[in-house]
Amino acid sequence: MQNVLSIIFCLSLFYLAVTSRVKTYVTVLQLQGIILTVLLLYPLIDHFSVPALILPATLFIVKVYLIPKYIKRILLDLDIKRIIEPTIQQFSFLLLVISTMTVIFVATNILSKSTEIETIPFASGFSAVAVGMFIIIFRKKLIIHVAGFLVLENGIFLFGSTIASKLPMMIELGSLLDIFVVVFLMGIALNKISSTLSGFEATALRRLKD
């Protein structure tokens, strides 16, 4: 089951690489949130316990409802243009994502011969980290940077949940805390940025250069 969910996760990453609409980023983030929630709920089918339900529920509420709502409100308030203008062509971006994913999968396969890890979720999570980094590097809008950071977080969560099956509580809480806090403050920062800065591109952040 983990494999199937990771495959869908990777497909969502491809879709993220091809799209040129800003709202699609929000939808894909919601989809990834749903995938991660299902991933957490899956072991509960065998041994069900109510306290273990708290984490998936919180995850669902935060990732699928709160964060997209917040981002959509920022999009509306700041009247951000609906199409993102990428720094490199979409085609080359997708090609870069494909080649990085191939490298990561092959490397994971080689590594799994020495350590026992589940290759597909691990490699999917790590490629999500890579795709998140590429989005941050290659896109110009600031809100897309925040979305890229969230994709990175989702990737960390995915491959963390495969590793940390023996030490669940702390690591998961740490991940969740990260998202909560980061998006909150970034949102507030973004709101203030809009009212002082006229453009909304990362290229406008050039004031502080030497």
Partner 1 sequence: MLLLAILLPLISAAACYLVKSIRAQYYLSLAVSVLHLAFSFSLFMGWYRPGEFILFSADSLSQLILLVLSNVYFWVVLVSFAYLRRTAISHSVSGRRYYFLLLNFYLFANTAAILSNNFGMYWVASEATTLSVAPLIYYYRNEEALEAMWKYLFLVSLGIAFAFIGILFLMLSSNGTVLEGRQLFFDEFAKNSALLNPIWLKASFIFIFVGMSTKIGIAPMHSADVDATSNSPSPVAALMAGSLRITALLGVMRIFQIVTPSSVHDFARTILIIGGLFSLFVAFVFMFKVKNYKRLLAYSSVEHLGIITLAIGIGGLAFVGAMYHIVYNSICKVVLFFIAGNVHREFKTREIAGVSSVINLMPWTGWLFLLAFFAISAIPPFGIFFSELMIFEGMLFSGKPWILVVTMFFMLFIFINMGRALFQMLYRKSEHEVILKEPERFDITHFASIVLLIAVIVIAVVSPDVLREHILSISKDFGIIL
Partner 2 sequence: MDLNTLVQGIVALLAILILSPLFAGVINKQKAFFTGRIGAPVMQPYYELKRLLRKETINANSSSFISDISPAINLIAVIVAAAMLPVGLAKPLISFEGDIILFAYVLGLARFFQILAAMDIGSSFEGMGASREATFAVFAEPIFFFTIGSIAFADNLTSIYDIYHSIKLNNVTYIVFIVVCSISVLILAVTECSRMPIDDPNTHLELTMIHEVMILDNSGVDLFLYQYSSYVKLCIYAIVEASLFYPFAVQNSYVAVIIFLVVIAALATTLAVVETVTARFKLKYVPQYLLFATAIGVLNLLIYTFTK
Using CB under 8 A as the criterion, which residues of the chain lie in contact with partner 1 when the complex forms? 111, 114-117, 129, 136, 142, 145, 149, 152-153, 156, 159-160, 163-164, 166-167, 170-171, 174-175, 177-178, 181-182, 185-186, 189-190, 192-193, 196-197, 205, 207-208, 210
Instruction: Determine if residue 79 is left, alpha or beta; phi over 0 gives left, psi from -120 to 50 gives alpha, anything else beta.
Output: left
Instruction: Note the residue count of the chain.
Output: 210
Q: From the CB of 203, what's the least distance to partner 1, in Å? A: 12
Q: Are 148 and 111 in contact (CB under 8 A)?
A: no
φ, ψ of residue 152 in degrees (nearest 5): -60, -45
Q: From the CB of 190, what's the least distance to partner 1, in Å? A: 8
Name the token pair of 178.
């990260």
Q: From the CB of 70, what's the least distance to partner 2, in Å? A: 29
3-state secondary structure of 167: coil
Q: From the CB of 91, what's the least distance to partner 1, in Å? A: 27
Indicate which of partner 2, partner 1, none lies near residue 174 (CB less than 5 to 8 Å, by partner kind): partner 1
3-state secondary structure of 28: helix
Question: What is the H or E stretch that residue 18 is in?
Answer: helix 2-18
Interacting residue ranges for partner 2, rule: CB under 8 A: 1, 3-4, 7-8, 10-11, 14-15, 17-18, 90-91, 94-95, 97-98, 101-102, 105-106, 109, 119-120, 123
